[in-house]
Amino acid sequence: MEKKEQLYEGKAKKVYATSDPERLIVDYKDDATAFNGLKKGTISGKGVINNRMSNRLMAMLEKRGIPTHYVQELSERETLVKKVSIVPLEVIIRNISAGSFSKRYGVEEGIVFETPTIEFSYKNDDLGDPLLNSYHAIALKLAAPEEIETIKNYAFRVNDALKAFWSTCGVTLVDFKLEFGRLSDGTIVLADEISPDTCRLWDAKTGEKLDKDRFRRDMGGVEEAYAEIMKRLEEHL
Ligand code: TMP
Protein backbone atom coordinates (compact mmCIF):
# COMPACT_ATOMS: atom_id res chain seq x y z
CA MET A 1 0.00 0.00 0.00
CA GLU A 2 1.52 3.28 -1.10
CA LYS A 3 1.65 6.11 1.47
CA LYS A 4 0.50 9.35 -0.12
CA GLU A 5 -0.11 12.90 1.09
CA GLN A 6 -0.66 13.82 4.74
CA LEU A 7 -4.36 14.54 5.27
CA TYR A 8 -4.36 15.59 8.89
CA GLU A 9 -2.14 16.08 11.90
CA GLY A 10 -3.71 15.63 15.30
CA LYS A 11 -2.20 15.95 18.77
CA ALA A 12 -0.86 12.40 18.87
CA LYS A 13 -1.11 11.06 15.32
CA LYS A 14 -0.72 11.98 11.68
CA VAL A 15 -3.02 10.56 9.03
CA TYR A 16 -2.00 9.87 5.43
CA ALA A 17 -3.91 8.97 2.28
CA THR A 18 -2.99 5.78 0.45
CA SER A 19 -3.44 4.50 -3.09
CA ASP A 20 -6.69 2.88 -1.87
CA PRO A 21 -9.47 5.45 -1.26
CA GLU A 22 -10.92 3.23 1.48
CA ARG A 23 -7.66 2.96 3.45
CA LEU A 24 -5.56 5.41 5.46
CA ILE A 25 -2.24 5.18 7.26
CA VAL A 26 -1.97 6.51 10.81
CA ASP A 27 1.44 7.45 12.17
CA TYR A 28 1.77 7.64 15.96
CA LYS A 29 3.85 10.49 17.44
CA ASP A 30 5.57 10.82 20.82
CA ASP A 31 3.86 14.19 21.36
CA ALA A 32 1.61 14.40 24.39
CA THR A 33 -0.90 17.08 25.29
CA ALA A 34 -3.35 17.52 28.11
CA PHE A 35 -6.09 19.95 29.12
CA ASN A 36 -7.15 20.57 25.54
CA GLY A 37 -3.63 21.18 24.32
CA LEU A 38 -2.69 23.66 27.09
CA LYS A 39 0.01 21.33 28.43
CA LYS A 40 2.46 20.03 25.86
CA GLY A 41 5.30 17.55 26.08
CA THR A 42 6.92 14.46 24.72
CA ILE A 43 6.71 10.93 26.03
CA SER A 44 9.67 9.19 24.47
CA GLY A 45 8.68 5.92 22.79
CA LYS A 46 4.96 6.50 23.33
CA GLY A 47 4.08 6.35 19.63
CA VAL A 48 5.60 2.90 19.27
CA ILE A 49 3.78 1.62 22.37
CA ASN A 50 0.41 3.16 21.53
CA ASN A 51 0.53 1.88 17.96
CA ARG A 52 1.28 -1.68 19.04
CA MET A 53 -1.07 -1.70 22.02
CA SER A 54 -4.01 -0.23 20.14
CA ASN A 55 -3.56 -2.72 17.30
CA ARG A 56 -3.33 -5.73 19.62
CA LEU A 57 -6.40 -4.65 21.57
CA MET A 58 -8.44 -3.89 18.46
CA ALA A 59 -7.53 -7.29 16.97
CA MET A 60 -8.73 -8.88 20.23
CA LEU A 61 -11.99 -6.90 20.09
CA GLU A 62 -12.57 -7.90 16.44
CA LYS A 63 -12.36 -11.54 17.55
CA ARG A 64 -15.10 -10.77 20.05
CA GLY A 65 -17.35 -9.38 17.34
CA ILE A 66 -16.70 -5.65 17.66
CA PRO A 67 -15.91 -4.11 14.26
CA THR A 68 -12.90 -1.77 14.25
CA HIS A 69 -10.94 0.31 11.75
CA TYR A 70 -7.80 -1.82 12.24
CA VAL A 71 -6.39 -3.51 9.12
CA GLN A 72 -2.65 -4.13 9.46
CA GLU A 73 0.39 -2.91 11.38
CA LEU A 74 2.91 -1.57 8.84
CA SER A 75 5.80 -0.52 11.06
CA GLU A 76 6.63 0.44 14.64
CA ARG A 77 4.59 3.62 14.35
CA GLU A 78 2.40 3.11 11.29
CA THR A 79 -0.85 1.23 10.83
CA LEU A 80 -3.17 0.72 7.90
CA VAL A 81 -6.76 1.45 8.88
CA LYS A 82 -10.14 1.61 7.19
CA LYS A 83 -11.10 5.13 6.18
CA VAL A 84 -13.93 6.40 8.35
CA SER A 85 -15.66 9.65 8.95
CA ILE A 86 -15.32 10.16 12.68
CA VAL A 87 -18.52 10.57 14.71
CA PRO A 88 -17.61 13.73 16.65
CA LEU A 89 -18.28 12.21 20.05
CA GLU A 90 -15.86 11.14 22.75
CA VAL A 91 -17.46 8.12 24.38
CA ILE A 92 -16.28 7.65 27.95
CA ILE A 93 -16.92 4.57 30.04
CA ARG A 94 -16.08 4.59 33.75
CA ASN A 95 -15.84 1.67 36.17
CA ILE A 96 -14.27 3.65 39.02
CA SER A 97 -14.40 7.36 39.91
CA ALA A 98 -11.42 9.42 38.74
CA GLY A 99 -10.46 12.50 36.75
CA SER A 100 -13.19 14.84 35.58
CA PHE A 101 -15.89 12.66 37.18
CA SER A 102 -14.36 13.14 40.63
CA LYS A 103 -13.88 16.84 39.99
CA ARG A 104 -17.39 17.43 38.60
CA TYR A 105 -19.24 15.56 41.34
CA GLY A 106 -16.89 16.33 44.23
CA VAL A 107 -16.00 12.73 45.08
CA GLU A 108 -12.67 11.07 45.74
CA GLU A 109 -10.99 8.86 43.16
CA GLY A 110 -11.32 5.10 43.50
CA ILE A 111 -15.03 4.56 44.19
CA VAL A 112 -15.92 1.31 42.42
CA PHE A 113 -19.26 1.62 40.61
CA GLU A 114 -21.80 -1.21 40.76
CA THR A 115 -22.62 -0.52 37.11
CA PRO A 116 -20.31 1.21 34.63
CA THR A 117 -21.29 4.70 33.46
CA ILE A 118 -21.26 6.12 29.96
CA GLU A 119 -20.97 9.74 28.92
CA PHE A 120 -20.46 11.62 25.70
CA SER A 121 -18.61 14.78 24.96
CA TYR A 122 -18.76 16.78 21.77
CA LYS A 123 -15.38 16.44 20.04
CA ASN A 124 -14.75 20.13 19.45
CA ASP A 125 -11.48 21.69 20.62
CA ASP A 126 -12.75 25.28 20.25
CA LEU A 127 -15.52 24.52 22.74
CA GLY A 128 -13.29 22.41 24.99
CA ASP A 129 -15.11 19.11 24.26
CA PRO A 130 -18.28 19.91 26.24
CA LEU A 131 -20.21 17.11 27.91
CA LEU A 132 -23.53 16.28 26.24
CA ASN A 133 -26.22 13.62 26.42
CA SER A 134 -27.62 11.50 23.60
CA TYR A 135 -30.54 13.89 23.02
CA HIS A 136 -28.09 16.75 22.53
CA ALA A 137 -26.01 14.62 20.16
CA ILE A 138 -29.12 13.81 18.10
CA ALA A 139 -30.35 17.44 18.15
CA LEU A 140 -26.95 18.59 16.91
CA LYS A 141 -27.07 15.83 14.23
CA LEU A 142 -23.74 14.46 15.44
CA ALA A 143 -25.21 10.95 15.21
CA ALA A 144 -28.54 9.30 14.41
CA PRO A 145 -30.53 7.63 17.21
CA GLU A 146 -29.73 4.12 15.87
CA GLU A 147 -26.05 5.03 15.69
CA ILE A 148 -26.08 6.14 19.33
CA GLU A 149 -27.64 2.81 20.31
CA THR A 150 -24.98 0.89 18.37
CA ILE A 151 -22.19 2.99 19.87
CA LYS A 152 -23.47 2.48 23.45
CA ASN A 153 -23.81 -1.24 22.90
CA TYR A 154 -20.28 -1.56 21.47
CA ALA A 155 -18.81 0.67 24.18
CA PHE A 156 -20.11 -1.52 27.02
CA ARG A 157 -18.98 -4.67 25.20
CA VAL A 158 -15.52 -3.13 24.75
CA ASN A 159 -15.53 -2.41 28.49
CA ASP A 160 -16.35 -6.04 29.35
CA ALA A 161 -13.60 -7.35 27.08
CA LEU A 162 -10.94 -4.83 28.14
CA LYS A 163 -11.76 -5.12 31.86
CA ALA A 164 -11.40 -8.90 31.69
CA PHE A 165 -8.19 -8.71 29.67
CA TRP A 166 -6.47 -6.11 31.88
CA SER A 167 -7.49 -8.03 34.95
CA THR A 168 -5.44 -11.01 33.71
CA CYS A 169 -2.48 -8.58 33.57
CA GLY A 170 -2.98 -7.48 37.17
CA VAL A 171 -4.34 -4.14 35.96
CA THR A 172 -7.59 -2.38 36.86
CA LEU A 173 -9.37 -0.62 34.00
CA VAL A 174 -10.65 2.55 35.66
CA ASP A 175 -12.06 4.41 32.65
CA PHE A 176 -11.39 5.04 28.97
CA LYS A 177 -12.41 7.06 25.95
CA LEU A 178 -13.48 5.62 22.61
CA GLU A 179 -14.19 7.16 19.24
CA PHE A 180 -16.28 5.61 16.50
CA GLY A 181 -16.41 6.22 12.76
CA ARG A 182 -18.61 5.46 9.77
CA LEU A 183 -17.34 3.44 6.82
CA SER A 184 -18.42 4.65 3.36
CA ASP A 185 -21.51 2.39 3.61
CA GLY A 186 -22.44 3.88 6.99
CA THR A 187 -21.33 0.93 9.14
CA ILE A 188 -20.23 2.05 12.61
CA VAL A 189 -16.76 0.81 13.62
CA LEU A 190 -14.46 1.49 16.55
CA ALA A 191 -11.74 3.94 15.45
CA ASP A 192 -8.96 6.15 16.89
CA GLU A 193 -6.85 4.33 19.49
CA ILE A 194 -6.95 2.38 22.75
CA SER A 195 -3.79 3.17 24.68
CA PRO A 196 -2.47 4.55 27.97
CA ASP A 197 -3.28 7.98 26.48
CA THR A 198 -6.96 7.13 26.37
CA CYS A 199 -7.41 4.76 29.33
CA ARG A 200 -6.80 4.95 33.07
CA LEU A 201 -4.97 1.79 34.08
CA TRP A 202 -4.01 1.15 37.70
CA ASP A 203 -1.86 -1.65 39.06
CA ALA A 204 -4.43 -3.95 40.70
CA LYS A 205 -2.30 -4.50 43.82
CA THR A 206 -0.64 -1.16 44.48
CA GLY A 207 -3.00 1.24 42.68
CA GLU A 208 0.01 2.72 40.88
CA LYS A 209 -1.00 4.71 37.82
CA LEU A 210 0.25 3.16 34.58
CA ASP A 211 -1.16 5.71 32.13
CA LYS A 212 -1.10 9.29 30.89
CA ASP A 213 -2.26 10.69 34.24
CA ARG A 214 1.45 10.55 35.20
CA PHE A 215 2.05 13.13 32.46
CA ARG A 216 -1.13 15.15 33.11
CA ARG A 217 -0.29 15.41 36.82
CA ASP A 218 3.51 15.77 36.56
CA MET A 219 4.04 12.61 38.57
CA GLY A 220 7.24 11.50 36.82
CA GLY A 221 7.99 7.96 35.69
CA VAL A 222 5.88 8.47 32.58
CA GLU A 223 8.02 6.49 30.10
CA GLU A 224 8.51 3.74 32.69
CA ALA A 225 4.74 3.44 33.20
CA TYR A 226 4.11 3.13 29.45
CA ALA A 227 6.85 0.49 29.19
CA GLU A 228 5.45 -1.43 32.17
CA ILE A 229 1.88 -1.50 30.86
CA MET A 230 3.12 -2.60 27.43
CA LYS A 231 5.17 -5.37 29.03
CA ARG A 232 2.09 -6.63 30.89
CA LEU A 233 0.09 -6.64 27.66
CA GLU A 234 2.80 -8.54 25.75
CA GLU A 235 2.95 -11.15 28.51
CA HIS A 236 -0.79 -11.81 28.40
CA LEU A 237 -2.00 -11.30 24.83
P1 TMP B 1 -11.60 12.45 32.25
O2 TMP B 1 -11.77 11.88 33.62
O3 TMP B 1 -10.57 13.53 32.16
O4 TMP B 1 -12.93 12.89 31.67
O5 TMP B 1 -11.08 11.28 31.31
C6 TMP B 1 -11.81 10.08 31.17
C7 TMP B 1 -11.02 9.11 30.30
O8 TMP B 1 -10.91 9.58 28.97
C9 TMP B 1 -9.58 8.90 30.77
O10 TMP B 1 -9.27 7.51 30.65
C11 TMP B 1 -8.74 9.69 29.81
C12 TMP B 1 -9.56 9.72 28.55
N13 TMP B 1 -9.46 10.98 27.83
C14 TMP B 1 -9.01 10.98 26.52
O15 TMP B 1 -8.67 9.94 25.98
N16 TMP B 1 -8.94 12.18 25.87
C17 TMP B 1 -9.31 13.35 26.43
O18 TMP B 1 -9.22 14.40 25.77
C19 TMP B 1 -9.78 13.33 27.78
C20 TMP B 1 -10.18 14.60 28.46
C21 TMP B 1 -9.84 12.13 28.43
92 lines ligand 1 (CB under 6 A): yes
- Any atom of ligand 1 within 6 Å of the Cβ of 102: no
CB under 8 Å to 110, separation ≥6 — which residues? 96, 97, 98, 207
68 alpha carbon – ligand 1 mean position (Å) = 20
Q: What DSSP line would sit under 57-114, residue for residue?
A: HHHHHHHTT--BSEEEE-SSSEEEEE--EEPSEEEEEEEE--HHHHHHHT--TTPEEE
pLDDT at residue 181 greater than cutoff 90: yes
Give me the pLDDT at residue 172, please. Answer: 99
Where residue 1 falls among pLDDT bands split at 50, 70, 90?
Answer: confident
How far apart CA 94 and CA 156 sit, in angstroms, is 10
C-alpha 20 to ligand 1 mean position (Å): 32
Check whether 11 has a pLDDT greater than 90. Answer: yes
% of the chain surpassing 70 pLDDT: 100
Mean pLDDT over 184-188 rounds to 98
Q: Is the CB of 120 under 6 A from ligand 1?
A: no
pLDDT digits (tens, 9 = 90+) for 191-212: 999 999 999 999 999 999 999 9
The rounded percent of the chain whose pLDDT value lies above 90 is: 100
Q: What is the mean pLDDT of the chain?
A: 98
> 205-219 as b/e, with b when 16 or more CB fall inside 10 Å?
eeeebbbbbbbbeee
Q: Over 90: is that where the pLDDT of 184 sits?
A: yes
Confidence check: pLDDT of 67 > 90? yes
Which ligand 1 atom is at minimum distance from the Cα of 177? Answer: 8
Q: Is the CB of 209 under 6 A from ligand 1?
A: no
Distance of CA 89 to the CA centre of its chain: 12
What domains lie within the chain, and their CATH numbers?
Answer: 3-82 (3.30.200.20), 85-223 (3.30.470.20)
For the chain, the first-to-last Cα distance in angstroms comes to 27
pLDDT tens, position by position, 132-176? 999 999 999 999 999 999 999 999 999 999 999 999 999 999 999
- Centre of ligand 1 from the C-alpha of residue 102, in Å: 12
* Ligand 1 pocket, residue 202 CB under 6 Å: no
When pLDDT is averaged across residues 89-106 and rounded to a whole number, the result is 98
Best of 127, 172, 175 to mutate for ligand 1, by most ligand atoms within 8 A of CB?
175
Length of the chain, in residues: 237
Is the minimum distance from the CB of 173 to ligand 1 under 6 angstroms? no
Ligand 1 pocket, mutate which of 102, 178, 198 (most atoms under 8 A from CB): 198
